[in-house]
C-alpha cells in the first residue's frame, strides 16, 4: 500500500507535515503494506485525538498520550453482539492497545531524530524500584499475556461437522491451516509453486511471514487427498500459475482470495458451530499445542512454527491444567516407583552394606 493511498484513507496524516514524511520513510524502507496501514491507522487515531483536544502533537507530553490511552481503553467494541470474551465488550484488548502505541512511539522517535523534540512521551519503560537485578522496565501500558484459547474436543468436532458441508477450497484451507500451523497471511498467500504434492510439503515464503523467515513444512496424507481434489476443482476456475486459493464469487471469480474473505468464512463456521471464540489463528494455536502434547521438543516446535526464539513459541502452546496434572502424575509415578524400589532393596540381605 503506497503512502498516497494511505493518506487518502487517513487524511488527518496529510494535515500534519511530519506525520506524512515519517510514513513515507517507512514506505521507502520497504515495510509490508499491512504494516504501513497499521502504522497509519495507529498514528491517525492519535493525531485525531490531538486535533480534538487542541494539542500540538510536536509538543504533546505524557499526559496527552495518557488521554489517548484512556480513549482506547474505553472505546466501545465494534463487534457488538458478537463480543466473544468478557473483557472485550468495552475498550480494545491489551494487545491491540500495545499495537496502537507502536506507531506513536516510532513517530516521536522520528521527531527526536529530526531535532524537533528532546524526549519521547510514549517511551519504552522506566526503571522500576526493586527490579534492578532483572532489569525490567515498566512500560506506559502494562503488558498482559493471556493464554490462547483453543477448542475442547467436542468443540473441535462441532467445527469439523459444520466444515464437512463446505466447498472443497474451504476444507483444504482449514486442513492446511491446522496441519502446517499457518497464519492467515501465510495461508492466503500460498502460490501454486509453493506446493509439493510428491513430498507432501509446502513452502512458506519469507515475505508472507511476520519475521521474514522462510520455512518448509509438511502436511498429512488426509490433507493431501483433499488437496488433490482441490487441484482438480481449481483447474476449472483457472489453469494459470500464481495464487493458489482463488475466489469463486461472481464479482471476483478466479481472483486471489483475500484475507478478509477467509476471515468471513471462518467466522461463519464458528457461529454455525456455536463456537464463537474460533478464529483464523485458532488452528495455529491448536496445532502447536498438539505437537507439545505429543512430546515434541520446544526448539522443534519453534522451527515448525517459524519462530526466531522459543519464548514466542511458549505463548502459542496452551497446555490445560489437566495436561499439566497428567504430566505431574506421570512424573510422580516414576519418582514413587523409584523410592519404593529403594525401600524394597533395604530389606534385602546385605543391602545396607552395599548402600554404605
234-280 confidence digits (pLDDT tens):
999 999 999 999 999 988 999 999 999 999 999 999 999 999 999 99
Residue 85, pLDDT above cutoff 90:
no
Q: Are residues 35 and 116 in the same domain?
A: yes
Number of domains in the chain: 3
Q: Span 344-350, mean pLDDT?
A: 61
Please give the average per-residue pLDDT across 8-23, as a whole number: 88
pLDDT tops 60 at residue 351: no
Query: Same structural domain for residues 312 and 339?
Result: no
Tell how strand 137-138 and strand 126-127 pair up: antiparallel
Which residue's C-alpha cell is 464463537? 276
Q: How many angstroms separate the most distant Cα atoms in the chain?
A: 92
212, 269: one domain: yes
Q: What is the pLDDT of residue 142?
A: 61
Of 32-41, 126-135, 237-246, the range with the highest mean pLDDT is: 237-246
d(CA 208, CA 187): 9
pTM passes above 0.85: no
- pLDDT band at 6; cut points 50, 70, 90: confident
Domain end, chosen from 138, 172, 193, is at 138
Residue 120 predicted with pLDDT over 80: yes
CB 156 within 8 A of CB 148: no
Q: Which residues does 294 contact at the CB level (< 8 Å), separation at least 6? A: none
Q: Which residues are paired to 196 by β-bridges? A: 201
Residue 259 lies in a domain: yes
pLDDT at 344: 65
Same domain, 297 and 182: yes
Specify whether 231 is located in the same domain as 294.
Answer: yes
Determine the average pLDDT of the residues in 166-191: 94
Domain that holds residue 261: 153-316
Distance of alpha carbon 178 from the chain centroid: 14
**Residue 39: alpha-carbon gap to chain centroid:** 17
Residue 15 and residue 251: Cα distance in Å, rounded?
36
Least confident of 99-108, 164-173, 214-223, 347-356: 347-356
- The CA-based dihedral angle spanning residues 183, 170, 237, 195, taken in that order and rounded to the nearest 10 degrees: 40
Nearest Cα to Cα of residue 167 among 242, 256, 96, 262: 262
- Among 79, 110, 138, the domain-final residue is 138
Region of poorest pLDDT, from 143-147, 236-240, 349-353: 349-353
**Domain assignment of residue 114, yes or no:** yes
Task: Name which residue leads in pLDDT, 355 or 179.
Answer: 179
State yes or no: pLDDT of 125 exceeds 70: no
Q: Are residues 300 and 326 in the same domain?
A: no
For residue 249 the three cell numbers come to 464469487
Higher-pLDDT residue of 187, 330: 187
Higher-scoring residue by pLDDT: 332, 78: 332
177 and 288 co-located in one domain = yes
Confidence of residue 127 (pLDDT cuts 50, 70, 90): very low
Q: What is the mean pLDDT of residues 96-125?
A: 87
Residues 327 and 309 in one domain: no
Q: Does the structure show a pLDDT above 90 at 138?
A: no
Q: Are 269 and 282 in contact (CB under 8 A)?
A: no
Q: Per the domain annotation, does 147 fall within a domain? A: no
Pair (157, 114) in one structural domain: no
Burial class (CB in 10 A: 0-12, 13-18, 19+), 210: middle
Q: Say if residue 132 is in the same domain as residue 224.
A: no
Average pLDDT over residues 83-88: 40
Q: 166 and 303 share a domain?
A: yes
Amino acid at each position: 500500500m503506497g503512502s498516497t493511498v494511505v493518506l487518502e484513507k487517513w487524511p488527518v496524516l496529510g494535515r500534519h507535515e511530519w506525520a506524512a514524511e515519517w510514513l513515507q520513510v517507512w514506505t521507502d524502507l520497504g515495510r509490508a503494506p499491512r504494516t504501513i496501514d497499521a502504522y497509519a491507522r495507529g498514528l491517525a487515531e492519535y493525531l485525531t485525538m490531538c486535533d480534538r483536544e487542541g494539542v500540538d502533537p510536536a509538543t504533546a507530553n505524557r499526559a496527552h498520550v495518557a488521554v489517548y490511552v484512556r480513549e482506547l481503553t474505553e472505546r466501545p467494541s465494534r463487534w457488538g453482539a458478537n463480543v466473544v470474551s468478557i473483557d472485550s465488550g468495552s475498550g480494545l484488548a491489551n494487545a491491540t492497545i500495545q499495537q496502537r502505541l507502536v506507531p506513536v512511539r516510532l513517530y516521536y522517535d522520528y521527531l527526536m531524530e529530526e531535532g524537533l523534540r528532546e524526549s519521547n512521551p510514549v517511551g519504552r519503560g522506566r526503571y522500576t524500584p526493586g527490579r534492578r537485578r532483572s532489569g525490567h522496565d515498566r512500560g506506559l501500558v502494562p503488558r498482559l499475556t493471556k493464554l490462547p484459547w483453543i477448542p475442547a474436543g467436542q468443540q473441535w468436532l462441532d467445527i469439523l461437522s459444520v466444515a464437512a458441508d463446505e466447498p472443497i477450497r474451504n476444507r483444504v484451507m482449514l486442513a492446511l491451516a491446522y496441519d502446517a500451523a499457518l497464519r492467515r497471511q501465510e495461508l492466503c498467500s500460498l502460490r501454486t509453486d509453493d506446493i509439493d504434492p510428491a513430498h507432501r510439503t509446502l513452502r512458506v515464503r519469507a515475505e508472507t511471514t511476520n519475521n521474514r523467515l522462510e520455512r518448509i513444512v509438511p502436511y498429512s496424507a488426509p490433507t493431501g487427498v483433499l488437496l488433490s481434489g482441490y487441484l482438480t476443482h481449481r483447474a476449472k476456475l483457472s489453469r494459470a500459475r500464481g495464487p493458489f486459493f482463488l475466489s469463486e464469487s461472481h464479482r471476483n471469480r478466479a481472483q486471489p482470495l483475500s484475507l478478509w474473505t477467509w476471515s468471513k468464512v471462518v467466522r461463519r463456521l464458528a457461529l454455525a458451530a456455536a463456537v464463537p471464540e474460533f478464529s483464523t489463528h485458532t488452528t495455529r494455536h491448536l496445532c502447536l499445542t498438539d505437537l507439545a502434547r505429543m512430546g515434541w521438543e520446544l526448539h522443534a516446535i519453534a522451527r515448525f512454527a517459524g519462530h526466531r526464539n522459543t519464548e514466542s513459541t511458549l505463548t502459542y502452546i496452551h497446555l490445560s491444567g489437566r495436561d499439566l496434572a497428567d504430566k505431574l502424575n506421570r512424573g510422580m509415578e516414576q519418582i514413587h516407583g523409584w523410592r519404593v524400589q529403594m525401600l524394597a532393596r533395604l530389606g534385602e540381605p546385605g543391602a545396607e552394606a552395599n548402600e554404605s
